[in-house]
Amino acid sequence: MCYQRLAWIFIGTFLCSFSSIIAAAPTSQLEAVKEAAKRHVESLISPPEYGELQVVPGNLDSRLQLSDCPSPLNVDVPGRQTLNKSVTVMVSCEEDNWQVYVPVQIRLLTPVVVAKRPLDRGITLAGDDLIVQLVDARFQRGQVYTDNSTLIGARVKRAVGIGEPINGNDICMVCRNDEVVITATGNGLNIIAKGTALSDGALGEQIKVRNSKSNRIVDGTITSVGQVVVKF
């Protein structure tokens, strides 16, 4: 009687364990499907040199009954989808004749200068106002900057919230009526003069400046805070 009871206990334990294995198999396969979709998208996108690529597969319906595929899963991005914000990946098992569509979110993070604190209009930027952080490329608009030292001394034209990227339209590295240093280059010569800016501008933009000595108005390209270059 005692041996019979032990036998039933052993059989019951075995059946419970076997049931757990059966129940866990679909979950394991779902995770394999998600991982396959993630790795496929990662293989299609080159991460930025100084940034980070984040690929996050969405959750799948736990009620899906998928067999353990006997061969490597087939993975494809169907249609003409663009690999920017999100993409739908098809994962399939040819031998067992099943396929699943996996939604995948894509984030491309790149280092940009953001506001370390709220920046009000009219203030002159200092080092403590800025910090470089990884920011989703989707939230970068216009000209952004990767070196905070480039912006020190620039003036804020539009209020910038904490953590927001500094945009070229938010600041002026040279502001209207500012005194600027004009460097005229050409024919192997560099001539330095002082002038007055006639409009606002950011890095790389062209503005008109008046030479303080000759009173001549020329077009100059902004190379840094208070500096413009004129070619002749």
Structure confidence by residue, pLDDT tens digits, 81-120: 998 889 999 999 999 999 999 999 999 999 999 999 999 9
Structure confidence by residue, pLDDT tens digits, 176-213: 999 999 999 888 788 899 999 999 999 999 999 999 99
Mean residue pLDDT across the chain: 87
For residue 18, pLDDT beyond 50: no
Share of the chain above pLDDT 90, in %: 74
CA angle, residues 139, 108, 54, in degrees to nearest 5: 125
Q: Hey, what domains does the chain have and what are their CATH numbers?
A: 2-108 (no CATH), 109-172 (3.90.1210.10), 179-231 (2.30.30.760)
Torsions phi, psi for 187 (to 5 deg): 55, 35
For residue 123, pLDDT beyond 60: yes
Overall pTM surpassing 0.75 (yes/no) = no
